[in-house]
Chain A
Amino acid sequence: MQQRLRMELTGTQIALWLIGGGLLAMVLIGSVRTLAVGKYTSKQWLDFIVFGLAQGGIYALIALGYTMVYGILGMINFAHGEIFMSGPMIGYFFAIRMARSGFVDRQPILSLLIVLAVAMITSTTIAVLLERVAYRPLRGAPRLVPLITAIGASFFLQYLFRGLFGADVKVYPDWDILSGKVPILGVQILKTQLVVIIAAVLLMAGLYTFIQRTKMGKAVRAVAEDRAAAALMGIDVDRTIAVSFALGGLMAGAGGLLYALLFKQVFFLMGFVPGIKAFTAAVLGGIGNVPGAMLGGMFLGIFESIGPNLFLDGLGIPAPYQLKDVIAFTMLVMVLIFRPTGILGERLATKRA
């Protein structure tokens, strides 16, 4: 019996490695063939990478919220995609009003900062409320309970926003200062993408500094490492958990506005796919690990942006760009199978011990 089990186990494992190896081979063959044909110029590749960085920066900002909440509560906040959606949704109403009144044209930077602030405040408020109302009462309940609550909260928020603001796609106004291109080291780069990348990097640097240097940031790390010991050091654990939700909300709200600038439109379901992608990014980087989420987000963004053109195209797949979501989720499954701890992750067993 024992032996049979072991044989079956190795059998599955062989099958998994074959699948993994097969996918890797497809990626390599596809890439070589695309590059050999020379379908895209280096200028185009650069565009793919810059777009990938912008998109990856947004994934990374969202992924931070997943990873911090997991690090501190061991729970996946499935409503985080909706926290991300809420910011730019509310921000939209401010943006559109300021655009109509001409304020956007008169004060482009100030108006942009106002919308950013609105988005960040909205997402943070929703994140903190969610923790307070839905998750805190369940602390100490079996793990499945908050998880199911999170899924419920996710639907609740989606349909709350649909009910309040309608199901239509809302188009963000244009900021003239963000249109067009700027030359950087002799290459023309879209201004919007550049701004998104710079803003994402600044926000991440700010968050990292906060967590590393400030007293409250250190409390977040202490509670994530050992909640009871942190309480014995005089840290208010409940407040610190709320702070980690707030930090996740700030990053998600900012990410949401950057998303609105990059893709120009928002609607009540917009949090779903980026949310799952960012979760993938967090797992990729090692869930619970803050720099890992940043790295994972950037990596996924670039991989998704160049992947379809690089290896799907070379395999002769028609309309490869439609398959970019398949790439992300295949990657999630592969990471979970072959390296569940992620790129920077440590073994969960040692962490929880």
Chain B
Amino acid sequence: MLEVQNLHTYYGNIHALRGISLTVDEGEIVTLIGANGAGKTTTLNTISGLLKPREGRVLLEGEEITDLPPHEIVKRGVVQAPEGRRIFARMTVMENLEIAAYTRTDKEGIRLDMERVFDLFPRLAERRNQLGGTLSGGEQQMLAIGRALMGKPRVLLLDEPSMGLAPLLVEEIFETIQQLNSEEGVTILLVEQNALMALSVAHRGYVLETGEVVLEGSAKELRENPDVRRAYLGGI
């Protein structure tokens, strides 16, 4: 469904992605793990069109989307919940959700999706008129995922949804991710520091190191790989 071919992305002279290739098939959860600075966020932002690669292509269902502006990519169903949540602090919860449906014109569908988000995260429903900046970290993460859902994703890009959350909340978030995938058929590309959690929900995974894919395989294979265990799963 989503195919990334040989991406080379630069920040000025910094060569951040050195030929990343990966695929995400329809209905899959694929995870991207790797140490800080490996290039995970850069990969997602290149897919989303915020960064333009110097080389390489991004294909959605075989169609090239590399040169499209970000809003066109969202319109085609590739939606990202960015790292650090990036909630609009001076807009209310409702406004944050409304704005995330910007590309859509189906009023009824938008209303239903908003209800779905509030069903998924009842805590957001209670705070619908509260400003985004006043939410707790966990609530902001719920809102970030909720916003991504409002964009009607076919492929959902999640950048570290567990960052800074208490263990109980992390589990709640991951359950939601799995539910979105299995019940609603959303294809998911999940970037995570928490490799253990990520590999427990994902079907397949890629390991990134300094801008390159160093390992790929099914989640089970990666979980059992000794190098992965040592580097990312904390011990043997």
Contact = CB atoms under 8 A, between A and B. Distances in A.
Interface of A: 215, 218-219, 221-222, 225-226, 228-238
Contact of B151 (A225, A234, A236): A234
B71 A234 contact: yes
Contact of B98 (A218, A231, A238): A218
For the residues of B in contact with A, the DSSP-based class is: loop
Contact of B99 (A228, A235, A237): A235
Contact of B88 (A215, A226, A236): A226
Contacts of B147: 233
Interface stretch (B15-23, B89-97, B121-129, B164-172): B89-97
Interface in B95-130: 95, 98-103
B53 interface: no
Contacts of A225: 88-91
A225 B49 CA distance: 19
Nearest to B45: A228
Nearest to A236: B71
Interface in B131-154: 147, 151
Interface stretch (B1-9, B74-82, B203-211, B223-231): B74-82
A229 B98 contact: no
A232 B48 contact: yes
A235 B147 CA distance: 13
A240 B19 CA distance: 34
A274 B75 CA distance: 43
Given A229-B82, A232-B80, A236-B69, A219 B99 contact: yes
Interface in B40-67: 48-50
Contacts of A237: 70-71
Contact of A233 (B89, B90, B100): B100
B99 A233 contact: yes
A221 to B, nearest CB: 6
A233 B151 contact: yes
B220 to A, nearest CB: 32
Contact of A234 (B86, B88, B95, B102): B102
